[in-house]
A and B are shown apart, each in its own frame.
Chain A
Amino acid sequence: MRFTILFSISLLLTGSRGFAQQRFVLEQSSISFHSDGVIEDIAATNTNVSSIFDASKGEIAYLLNMKDFQFPKKLMQVHFNEKYVESEKYPRASFEGKIVGFDPAVEGLQQVNAVGRMTIHGVTKDVQFPGTVERKGGMLAMKANFILKLQDYAIKVPQIVWQNIAQQVEVTVDFNYRAQ
């Protein structure tokens, strides 16, 4: 008897989790960066990001493999991985933090701020950047745009050799989540 009651309570608790917690997983992801260089523009896109967004707590994390950044010029892609971000030593980049100003009850576009810790090239920094979250039923679109200084993450770019790499890049985040 006691067993049955406990079992039912446990079931109820686990079952109700889905509603209260509102976890979202990525359905489509894109993190891209670009910089307008002296000789040519540099641009790359990573569509293989994984992320979880916990709407009830506003907690978010994303993780990506540096080698998944696709460049239009493949030689540039090799140099990016081998010489600049050292993907063999630091294969992944990540962000974990909170989405501040998001109300999970509201449908439609909301202006929010992302606050947390960004790790690239083995260097972790506290960051904050603005973005938008748009909720449509079980779908959630998150967009952000920010400037990233290479120096902050100890990414060295020899100016003499590669004049076409700027010291900062503009990062665009475009995530589409679906309720789990």
Chain B
Amino acid sequence: MMRRILPFVFLLPLLAHAQGDLLDELNKTKPGTDYTIATFKGTRLVNGHTIETKQAGTLEFIFAHRFGPLDGGVYEMFGLDEAFVRLGLDYGITDNLSVSIGRNSADKIMDSYVKYKALSQRSGQKSFPFTLTALGGVAYSISPRRDDEPEGFETVDRLAYTGQLLLARKFSPRLSLQLMPTFIHKNAVSKTVERNDHVALGVGGRLKLTRSVALTTEYYYRLDPPDNDVLEAQTLSPRYNSLGFGIDIETGGHVFQLVLTNTTSLTERTFITQTQGDFFDGKIHLGFNVTRTFQLKKQERR
């Protein structure tokens, strides 16, 4: 038996050589890791962040705008008479590290973020199931004026901090889902109604309708929030979990996001802990985020 097979074993190298399908050969010898791109279209989902960071050398100008509540009636032109604005700039230092500054008209808050994409979703040789981005933010409230500061109010009382983990998976080219555990510390609070520390869990996602249009949604659930009855007893506005829906429309260097949300704030400190509208009671605000990306540094040719 062995004697019969052996001659053919020696001829095997010739057989392999005769096959000659070069493309098949290349297909076999080309492994590699495929990094997932475009989990979301923008760096913002509705009000809050997505896992996306700006790529190295790109600057994004974000003009975000929220109108008054839709239930304002004809007198308020269904909210269009009122305006809350955030003007912001995001810049990519590296492909995974971004910084951001912004100015909110609501409560006159200056905010700043550092965002780092620590892990990237990828398939192939070194696959990994999701993308993880860490976000750290500081918000400085310019209101009240120095002259109007209450007794004992110090500069540090104007500050609040945000720490957030953004965890997202692109399940298919159409569907991406995101989780956002969030911690917020406010230096100054009214101790009778709320604590300094707030914890919230956000969930969100996007569904691509066409290659340039996508639906988005975002919900932040506050763990152990202040009691609305206590707030109302002190003649303060009740607070709700923030909820938003959006449509992303992408045209070249612009992303246009049309949103419906129950908050007028555009920074974590306020929209997570101080959203004052009940979405299901008509306190819905129309708004938009418009972004324009500029390539400041051209990529070096390799």
Q: Measuring CB to CB, which residues of chain A are less than 8 angstroms from any residue of chain B?
A: 3, 6-7, 9-10, 13-14, 17, 21, 45, 47, 50-52, 54, 57, 59-63, 65, 67, 70-75, 78-79, 81-83, 86-89, 91, 94, 96, 158, 161-162, 164
Task: Assess the B10–A17 pair: CB atoms within 8 A.
Answer: no
B55 at the A interface (CB under 8 A) = yes
Q: Measuring CB to CB, which residues of chain B are less than 8 angstroms from any residue of chain A?
A: 6-7, 10-11, 13-14, 17, 20, 22-23, 25-27, 29-30, 32, 34-38, 55-58, 95, 173, 211-212, 250-253, 293, 295, 298-299, 301-302
Determine the distance from Cα of A1 to Cα of B36 in the docked complex, in whole angstroms.
59
Determine the distance from Cα of A2 to Cα of B36 in the docked complex, in whole angstroms.
57
Task: Assess the A63–B26 pair: CB atoms within 8 A.
Answer: yes
In the assembled complex, 17 residue pairs joining A and B whose CB atoms fall closer than 8 Å, in A order, are A3-B6, A9-B10, A13-B13, A17-B17, A51-B26, A61-B26, A70-B301, A70-B302, A75-B293, A75-B295, A78-B37, A82-B38, A88-B173, A89-B173, A96-B23, A161-B212, A161-B252
Determine the distance from Cα of A6 to Cα of B14 in the docked complex, in whole angstroms.
14
Task: Assess the A94–B22 pair: CB atoms within 8 A.
Answer: no
Residue of B nearest to A17 (CB): B17
Determine the distance from Cα of A71 to Cα of B95 in the docked complex, in whole angstroms.
14
Task: Assess the A82–B26 pair: CB atoms within 8 A.
Answer: no
Least Cβ–Cβ distance between A14 and chain B, in angstroms = 5
Task: Assess the A60–B252 pair: CB atoms within 8 A.
Answer: no
B34 partner residues in chain A, CB cutoff 8 A: 65, 67, 91
Instruction: Given A13-B13, A45-B301, verify A52-B25 contact (CB < 8 Å).
Output: yes
Task: Assess the A6–B7 pair: CB atoms within 8 A.
Answer: yes
A9 partner residues in chain B, CB cutoff 8 A: 10
Instruction: Given A83-B212, A161-B251, verify A74-B22 contact (CB < 8 Å).
Output: no
Task: Assess the A74–B58 pair: CB atoms within 8 A.
Answer: yes
Mostly, the A contact residues are: mixed
Task: Assess the A10–B23 pair: CB atoms within 8 A.
Answer: no
B38 partner residues in chain A, CB cutoff 8 A: 78, 81-82
Contact of B29 among A50, A59, A74, A83 (CB under 8 A): A50
Sample of 10 more A-B contacts, CB < 8 Å, known A65-B30, A74-B55, A94-B23? A6-B6, A50-B26, A50-B30, A65-B32, A67-B35, A70-B299, A74-B56, A74-B295, A75-B55, A88-B173
Residue of B nearest to A51 (CB): B26
Contact of B13 among A14, A88, A161 (CB under 8 A): A14
Determine the distance from Cα of A52 to Cα of B17 in the docked complex, in whole angstroms.
13
Task: Assess the A62–B26 pair: CB atoms within 8 A.
Answer: yes
Instruction: Given A3-B6, A10-B11, A78-B38, verify A162-B173 contact (CB < 8 Å).
Output: no
Task: Assess the B251–A7 pair: CB atoms within 8 A.
Answer: no
B251 partner residues in chain A, CB cutoff 8 A: 161-162
B36 partner residues in chain A, CB cutoff 8 A: 88
Instruction: Given A51-B26, A52-B26, A63-B30, verify A6-B10 contact (CB < 8 Å).
Output: yes
Determine the distance from Cα of A73 to Cα of B14 in the docked complex, in whole angstroms.
48
Instruction: Given A13-B14, A45-B301, verify A59-B22 contact (CB < 8 Å).
Output: yes
Least Cβ–Cβ distance between B127 and chain A, in angstroms = 14
Least Cβ–Cβ distance between A75 and chain B, in angstroms = 5
Task: Assess the B22–A52 pair: CB atoms within 8 A.
Answer: yes
B56 partner residues in chain A, CB cutoff 8 A: 74
Task: Assess the A63–B27 pair: CB atoms within 8 A.
Answer: yes
Determine the distance from Cα of A95 to Cα of B138 in the docked complex, in whole angstroms.
53
